[in-house]
């Protein structure tokens, strides 16, 4: 029976690419290091499947044995279609536990916070990452992941060209945490997530992630990783559990899974790189439906009342307007815009570009539209404006310009620059 591409799981690692579809597992080993080698292995796996489909039974009988040997990835299948869940190795999509925001934020504000934390932690490297995160309450750490924007574009292009639609894209450690962390009532433990050349240690307290650390290396790096974890997670001699994806070596602790196929773990996990904002729960849809129903009922009732009022005639009595007594009006001079522009230009760093300035000069109320290289630059300039004496400064909105090459952050600030 041919594999179903509608239920496929694809793992992309530094040493191999693994595809699992309806019980069948197909593997392509990498011959080059890094993302380039993984992409070549993925393409060879997809090309091998397409090449085998083009050969009919009679054609395959005429092919030399050496030629058929090059098609070891392939099995007779239908054309690739359907959805595929992509699991990325932590080499290409590392997982982090970032500090939580001090106050409650919506989804877009949380994205800005994650971008600023990533920029603070990784510097200029974070400018070229596509970030994904799992929202968390105020004050709690945020689980986040990142992938190079160029790698992301190449991945989507390769899968789309093969006729596949992407259902989800997650980091392998996040999927392993979702499967082995909170499920099964495991309580407090340290979970080792082992891939070829990389170890990730997750500290779980009552099944919840309390600390996360990752290093490059093989089993001999585990000792140092555990020593660092003991200093921060407070778990003492907690059980040590291991999830390995086909890694060899002398490991301390119970092996839950250790095979190449373990890399293609199934299940849902966050953060998902395809997620743009949280999906509303079912109760939200029910409330929306109820609200629309009430609005329709109110509209019908209003139309009925309007028809009834139209049948009534009321005699109109003209009333002369009486002049109001003068109350001593003082004209408020408009503050010159030049003064505001000079102040803004003198305090504007080179990472900020002013796009527009509008508002009411008489009231001293203005709205500024600008672009920043990153969310961190935006927040830094906003704080400097408030410190410079602009009253009631507030960040109205901000949005990453994904269509632009550098993907700047466009934002709008409302401020009061003082009473004229």
Contacts of 173 (CB under 8 A, 6+ apart): 90, 95, 193, 200, 202, 214
Determine the CATH number of domain 337-416. 3.30.1360.100
Check: CB of residue 12 under 8 Å from CB of residue 27.
no
Residue-level pLDDT at 182: 58
pLDDT of 289 reads 74
Under 8 Å between Cβ of 195 and 210: no
Domains in the chain: boundaries: 5-88, 95-143+168-263, 337-416
Could you tell me which of 161, 166, 164, 153 has the C-alpha nearest to residue 77? Answer: 164
d(CA 51, CA 67): 11
* pLDDT for the residue 2: 36
Q: For the chain, how far is it from start to end, CA to CA, in angstroms? A: 80
Taking only the tens place, the pLDDT of each residue in 9-66 is: 889 988 888 888 767 788 888 888 889 999 999 988 887 654 443 344 444 454 444 3
Which DSSP string do the residues of 248-296 spell out, in sequence order?
Answer: -S--SSEEEEESGGGGS--S--SSBTT--SPPPPHHHHHHHHHHHHHHH
Count the alpha carbons within 13 Å of 146 in the hemisphere toward its beta carbon: 21
- Residue 367's nearest CA partner among 394, 336, 387 is 394
d(CA 331, CA 49): 80
Write the Ramachandran bin of 16: left for phi over 0, alpha for psi from -120 to 50, otherwise beta.
beta
pLDDT at 152: 93
**pLDDT recorded at residue 141:** 92
Q: How far is CA 45 from CA 35, 103, 263, in A?
A: 15, 47, 17
DSSP 193: E
Q: Residue 38: what pLDDT?
A: 93
Residues of the chain with pLDDT under 50: 1-6, 50-60, 62-80, 183-185, 313-317, 319-333, 419-420
Backbone Cα Rg of the chain: 30
Any idea which residue has 């309806």 for tokens?
A: 22
């Amino acid at each position: 029976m041919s594999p179903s591409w509608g239920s496929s799981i694809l793992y992309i690692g530094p040493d191999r690419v693994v595809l699992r579809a309806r019980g069948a597992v197909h593997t392509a080993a990498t011959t080059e290091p890094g993302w380039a080698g993984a992409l070549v292995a993925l393409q060879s796996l997809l090309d091998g499947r397409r090449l085998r489909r083009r050969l009919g039974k009679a054609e395959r009988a005429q092919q030399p044995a050496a030629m058929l040997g090059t098609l070891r990835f392939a099995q007779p299948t239908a054309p690739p279609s359907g959805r595929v869940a992509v699991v990325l190795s932590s080499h290409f999509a590392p997982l982090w536990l970032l500090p939580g925001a001090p106050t409650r934020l919506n989804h877009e504000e949380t994205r800005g916070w994650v971008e600023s934390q990533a920029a603070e932690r990784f510097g200029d490297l974070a400018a070229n990452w596509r970030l994904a995160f799992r929202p968390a309450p105020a004050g709690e750490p945020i689980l986040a992941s990142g992938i190079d924007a160029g790698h992301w574009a190449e991945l989507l292009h390769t899968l789309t060209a093969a006729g596949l639609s992407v259902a989800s894209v997650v980091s392998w450690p996040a999927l392993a945490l979702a499967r082995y962390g909170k499920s099964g009532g495991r309580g407090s433990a340290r979970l080792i997530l082992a891939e070829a050349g990389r170890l990730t240690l997750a500290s779980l307290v009552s099944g919840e992630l309390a600390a996360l650390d990752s290093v490059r290396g093989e089993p001999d790096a585990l000792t140092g990783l555990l020593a660092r974890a003991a200093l921060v997670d407070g778990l003492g001699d907690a059980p040590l559990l291991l999830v390995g994806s086909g890694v060899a070596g002398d490991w301390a602790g119970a092996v839950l899974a250790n095979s190449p196929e373990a890399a293609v773990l199934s299940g849902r996990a966050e953060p998902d790189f395809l997620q743009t904002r949280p999906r509303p729960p079912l109760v939200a849809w029910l409330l929306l439906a109820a609200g629309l129903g009430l609005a329709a009922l109110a509209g019908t009732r209003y139309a009925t009342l309007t028809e009834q009022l139209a049948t009534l005639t009321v005699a109109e009595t003209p009333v002369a307007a009486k002049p109001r007594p003068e109350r001593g009006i003082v004209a408020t001079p408009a503050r010159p815009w030049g003064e505001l522009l000079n102040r803004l230009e003198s305090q504007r760093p080179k990472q900020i570009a002013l796009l527009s300035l509008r508002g009411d000069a008489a009231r001293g109320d203005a709205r500024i539209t600008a672009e920043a290289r990153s969310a961190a630059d935006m927040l830094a300039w906003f704080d400097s404006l408030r410190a410079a004496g602009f009253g009631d400064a507030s960040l109205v909105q901000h949005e990453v310009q994904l269509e632009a090459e550098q993907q700047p952050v466009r934002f709008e600030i409302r401020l009061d620059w003082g009473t004229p």
